[in-house]
Structure 1
Amino acid sequence: MHIIDTHLHLMYPDSLTYGWTDAVPMLQGTASIEMYEARVRTHGVARALMMEVDVDTTDIEAEIDLVGAIVARGDTIVEGMIAACRPEQSADLFAASLDRLSARPHVRGVRRILHTSPDALSTSDTFAANLNRLARRGYTFDLCVLASQLASVALPLADRCPDLTIILDHCGNPDIAREALDPWRADIRALAERPNVHCKVSGIVNHAAPGWAPDDLRPYFEHLVACFGWDRLVWGSDWPVCRLGGDVNAWLDATRALIADCSTDEQASLLSRNAVRLYRMHPVQNPVRTG
């Protein structure tokens, strides 16, 4: 079962600053590509995209260059990254940042963390105008919001930026521990009606109760499939953040359980094919097989 991981976090605190980890001691420390590969190489992960880790703003470009150096080595499974961006900047500053990204071909898309920001940050005219600039440059936008922000942030952005390919991270962060399907379920259905929106099956173990089982995740996963179909879903590990709900191999095993009865073609769409298309990646060498 060959997998493209579209949501791998790498953390190098000796080189970069992650101020947010002060509140999450479990995630402090190094999370290197070597540590990740030691966990997943025998579990079918063939290629990966590094997802920005909300470094301090002054370190954004340094993070991009650090990952570029890892990609250039050619001896890891990291093919590229989704870089941090600041669409709340003025048009001139944002355009200049995109000019700098264009010189870094390993950047396949960008993200601005929104689940820790007030809604006003992302509902301004400037924010939407800059996201539309992303679309004209051919970059995707990973959208990370709380379930409570799906209607107030995600839906308006999708409507104001219809030409931008948006990937909703972490299934929209549903509250699985409390079995809160609504209003998440209705908001996901509404988002899926926007053809420019895709969804990343990732991060949900962090929202499940301790001792979760795959069947606790199943109602959420099946609703995503029903709404988005197999061609608009990608998979991500969210390592090492996934350690808050169990290590990456527990999430890989849960993924296999969730798709065990699906066709080879459906599995391939979720686990690799859609990532190749959305993030302009190299295809995996072999087809995904069940079993």
Structure 2
Amino acid sequence: MFIDTHLHLVSRQLITYPWLTDVPALNRDWTYDEYESTAKRIGIAGVLHMEVDCAPEFIETENALIADLMARPGSLMRGAISSARPEAEDFTSFLDRLDPKVVKGIRRVLHVVPDELSQDTGFRANVGLIGKKGLPFDICVSQRQLELAIDLADACPNTVFVLDHCGVPDIAGDGYKDWEKSITRLAERPHVNAKISGISAYAAPDWTLETLRPYVEHIIESFGWDRVVWGSDSPVCTLNSSLDQWMAATQALIAGASETERAAFASGNAKRIWNI
């Protein structure tokens, strides 16, 4: 049974998502009930909600919605990976307001901001504070920014990091060689983990299992079975697949793993990293 470490829910009547208008295929509400009906069929036993890069004034509203879902009887929801603005002057007070029973981690999407942001001393100091709070920080960068991810990890050695989406490889553009080198270097940092999440979205529409295999295998080879987790990246994965197709592809790609390796990847590592 899997823990999905990367589910996005969209509630447009309550929250504003500035980027959604640029992605018509995703620009609708995506509900927990819709997700749960599939998740329970394909072996998902728990889920973490991943922030959806909402407008900053709605961050705490988004976390409150997840708290409500966690309180439902029989809910799969295990917590929120909250959006945040580590560059903000009031970031410390924001951290202090977070409910540790709900918020299990933090993310600031970095591919939508200038590269210099993650290099700023104040930003890095606040990412260090995230680590002191015992919260992991999800790194969401594009493939060309993987070197920035390495620099950020080096600047914050006491914060646990999780690289989203295998580092967003340019699968459709055949960018494997450059991606491979950067991933190998990033994996040398023991406080960095990797999330194998919805990478079919970065392939061409006619992708096959063999299209994705070298990326998944290199991530596992580089990080090891004790530092990899699984995520659906639903609904972004639906751009080139469905949730159940992504799960089926994952199961096929790890078919040769031992029972211990599969258990660590499917749920054990996630429970440890996010304290769930």
TM-score (norm 2): 0.98
Whether the aligned pair in 2 keeps the contact of 1:171 and 1:203 (CA below 8 Å) is: no
Residue 98 of structure 1 corresponds to which residue in structure 2?
95
Q: For residues 177 and 185 of structure 1, what CA distance do their matches in structure 2 show? A: 15
* Partner in structure 1 of residue 194 of structure 2: 199
Paired residue for 1:264, among 235, 244, 259? 259
Find 1:145's aligned residue among 120, 141, 145: 141
Matches within 5 A, 1:38-49: 38-49=37-48
Please tell me whether residue 118 in structure 1 is matched to residue 93 in structure 2. Answer: no
Counterparts of 2:258 and 2:160 in 1: how far apart (Å)?
Answer: 26
- Which stretch shows the higher mean deviation, 71-80 or 107-116? 71-80
Q: Deviations over 1:136-166 (max 9, x none)?
A: 1111100100000001x20110000001000
1: CA distance, partners of 2:39 / 2:72 = 19
Report if aligned partners of 1:170, 1:202 keep a CA contact under 8 Å in 2: yes
Q: What amino acid is the match of 1:53? A: V
Give the equivalent residue in structure 2 for 1:217.
212
Shift in Å, 1:104? 4.5
Q: Structure 1 CA distance, aligned partners of 2:209 and 2:269? A: 23
Aligned to 1:277: 272
1:11 match: 10
Q: Tell me, what secondary structure is at the counterpart of 1:89?
A: coil
Equivalences for residues 44-55 of structure 1 within 5 A = 44-55=43-54
Runs of 4+ more than 4 Å apart: none
Within 2, Cα distance between the matches of 1:76 and 1:26? 27
CA distance in 1 between counterparts of 2:127 and 2:273 reads 17
Q: Is the 8 A contact 1:128 1:157 kept in 2?
A: yes
Which 5+ residue runs of structure 2 have no aligned equivalent? none
Matched letter for residue 85 of structure 1? A
The aligned runs of 1:22-37 (5 Å cut-off) are 22-37=21-36
Q: Which residue of 2 aligns with 1:287?
A: none
In structure 2, the residue corresponding to 1:96 is in which secondary structure?
A: helix
Count residues with an aligned counterpart: 276
Matched, 1:132 2:131: no
* Structure 2 letter corresponding to 1:97: F
Given that 1:234 and 1:270 are in contact with CA atoms closer than 8 Å, whether structure 2 keeps it comes out as yes
Residue identity in the other structure for 2:121:
D
Residue 63 of structure 1 aligns to a residue whose secondary structure is helix
What code does the residue aligned with 1:99 have? D
2: CA distance, partners of 1:120 / 1:166? 19
**What is the one-letter code of the residue matched to 1:7?**
H
Q: For residue 133 of structure 1, what is the amino acid of its counterpart?
A: L
CA contact (8 A) 1:81 1:107 kept: yes
2:188 corresponds to 1:188: no
SS in 2 for 1:59: helix
The Cα of 1:215 is off from its aligned counterpart by: 1.0
What is the percent sequence identity of the aligned residues? 45
1:246 paired residue among 237, 241, 244: 241
Cα distance in structure 2, aligned partners of 1:81 and 1:74:
17
The residue correspondences of 1:148-167 to structure 2 (distance < 5 A) are 148-151=144-147, 153-167=148-162
Distance 1:140 1:104 in 2: 12
> CA shift at 1:266, angstroms?
1.0
Alpha-carbon deviation of 1:218? 0.4
- Could you tell me whether the CA contact under 8 Å between 2:141 and 2:149 is conserved in 1? yes
- Secondary structure of the corresponding residue to residue 173 of structure 2: coil
5+ residue gaps in structure 1? 282-291
In structure 2, how many angstroms separate the alpha carbons of the residues matched to 1:212 and 1:245? 8
Confirm whether residue 72 of structure 1 aligns to residue 43 of structure 2. no
Q: In 1, are the aligned partners of 2:146 and 2:167 still within 8 Å (CA)?
A: yes
